[in-house]
């Protein structure tokens, strides 16, 4: 494998067909554009160089790569292109979607997030000794209208700061943690792969409770496992050799989601809060990334990344 990788050091790019294989998330559809291809063409040579370093360290001559980043940054597209490049050059690759491994289906997970936020907010109001029957009624009205995460309420109701702070704290204790995600199952897959196992059962998760099953996948010819996942660089599991962080500032993420009108609640304060917490998680994990790529496709050092994020906040 190292010999094949070494030949790719002189890689100059290649044409992509209209359709290429993608990750294993049921129902997921990716749309690859020129921007994704340009970014992949920047990442791939650096990925090859790093694979040459890490592959010999594994007895089975296998490596695990993750492509992580925030919402809408192009994880699925980039992982699919990188996997295609490897496969077309004689290096077996499989793209696994980490979104198959939450503990709850999307509908229930979204409900759990909202429940925890509201429960944490109400508990904080009670602890702050600021609750009155009139205020409970007002908060419940905002909840029914799905506007209870909006900071604008503070202008006329300063006591509401406790609700927002308590709700945020409750969310931070859930998002991207073992309570939300079955990291142990992902780590088991990584361990089986790196131990050279040729047949591995992988989970498939759709959007309803009847759409959950397992498939046995043939990993005999696979030498590089690529995991595309927001939490690909998390401390919740072990075994990743090369984490790739696709960076996107909060402003870029929001602009992208607005352009796609994703989830039908793009401007909701609750969605914005969830994205902000996920962004903070990505920032705390960024020092472990072996490759960091800006939204425009520029490779960043960690110092450059910190500077870019600092400037976006200032």
Per-residue pLDDT reduced to its tens digit, 149-203: 999 999 999 999 999 999 999 999 999 999 999 999 999 999 999 999 999 999 9
Q: Please give the pLDDT value at position 258.
A: 62
One domain for residues 215 and 274:
yes
Strands (E), 163-240: 199-205, 212-218, 224-228
Same domain? For 289 and 145 the reply is no
Residues 220 and 266 in one domain: yes
Q: Which domain holds residue 285?
A: 1-8+57-73+92-101+199-314
Would you state the pLDDT for residue 13? Answer: 86
* CB distance 282 to 245 below 8 Å: yes
The pLDDT of residue 254: 65
Spatial separation of the C-alpha atoms in residues 208 and 107, rounded to whole Å: 7
pLDDT in tens, 62-81: 999 999 999 889 999 999 99
Which pLDDT score, from 0 to 100, does residue 304 have?
Answer: 93
Helix (H) and strand (E) counts for the chain?
10, 8
Residue 261 neighbours by CB distance under 10 Å? 10
Is residue 25 domain-resident? no
What is the tens place of the pLDDT at every residue in 91-105? 999 999 999 999 999
Q: What is the pLDDT of residue 259?
A: 59
Mean pLDDT of the chain: 92
CA angle 204, 207, 209 (to 5 degrees): 80
211 and 161 inside one domain: no
- For residue range 234-285, list pLDDT tens digits in order: 999 999 999 999 998 766 666 666 655 544 455 689 999 999 999 999 999 9
Q: Which helix (H) or strand (E) segment is 43 a member of?
A: helix 34-54
- Same domain for 225 and 124, yes or no, is no
Please check whether residues 97 and 234 belong to one and the same domain: yes
- 207 with 263, same domain: the answer is yes
Name the domain count of the chain: 2
**Is the same domain home to 268 and 217?**
yes
Q: Is 63 part of a structural domain of the chain?
A: yes
Comparing C-alpha atoms, which of 203, 136, 191 is closest to residue 163? 136
Query: What pLDDT score does 262 carry?
Result: 46
Q: Are residues 128 and 215 both part of a single domain?
A: no
pLDDT value for 28: 83
């Amino acid at each position: 494998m190292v010999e094949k990788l070494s030949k790719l050091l002189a890689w100059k790019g290649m044409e992509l067909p209209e359709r290429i294989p993608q990750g294993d998330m049921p129902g997921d559809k990716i749309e690859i554009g020129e921007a994704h291809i340009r970014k992949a063409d920047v990442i791939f040579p650096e990925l090859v160089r790093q694979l040459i370093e890490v592959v010999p360290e594994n007895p089975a001559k296998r490596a695990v790569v993750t492509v992580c980043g925030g919402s809408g940054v192009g994880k699925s597209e980039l992982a699919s292109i990188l996997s295609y490049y490897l496969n077309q050059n004689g290096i077996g690759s499989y793209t696994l979607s980490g979104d198959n491994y939450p503990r709850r289906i999307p509908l229930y997970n979204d409900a759990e997030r909202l429940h925890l936020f509201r429960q944490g907010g109400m508990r904080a109001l009670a602890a702050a000794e600021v609750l009155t029957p009139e205020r409970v009624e007002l908060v419940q009205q905002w909840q029914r209208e799905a506007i209870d995460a909006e900071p604008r309420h503070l202008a006329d109701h300063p006591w509401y700061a406790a609700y927002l702070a308590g709700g945020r704290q409750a969310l931070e204790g859930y998002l991207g943690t073992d309570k939300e995600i079955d990291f142990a199952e992902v780590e088991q897959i990584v361990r089986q792969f790196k131990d050279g196992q040729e047949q591995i059962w992988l989970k498939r998760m759709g959007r309803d409770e009847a759409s959950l099953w397992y498939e046995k996948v043939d990993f005999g010819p696979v030498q590089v496992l690529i995991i595309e996942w927001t939490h690909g660089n998390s401390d919740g599991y072990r075994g990743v050799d090369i984490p790739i962080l696709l960076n996107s500032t909060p402003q870029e993420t929001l602009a992208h989601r607005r352009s796609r009108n994703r989830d039908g609640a793009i401007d909701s304060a609750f969605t914005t809060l969830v994205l902000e917490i996920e962004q903070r998680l990505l920032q705390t994990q960024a020092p472990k990334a072996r490759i960091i790529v800006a939204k425009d496709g520029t490779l960043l050092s960690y110092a450059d990344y910190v500077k870019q994020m600092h400037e976006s906040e200032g």
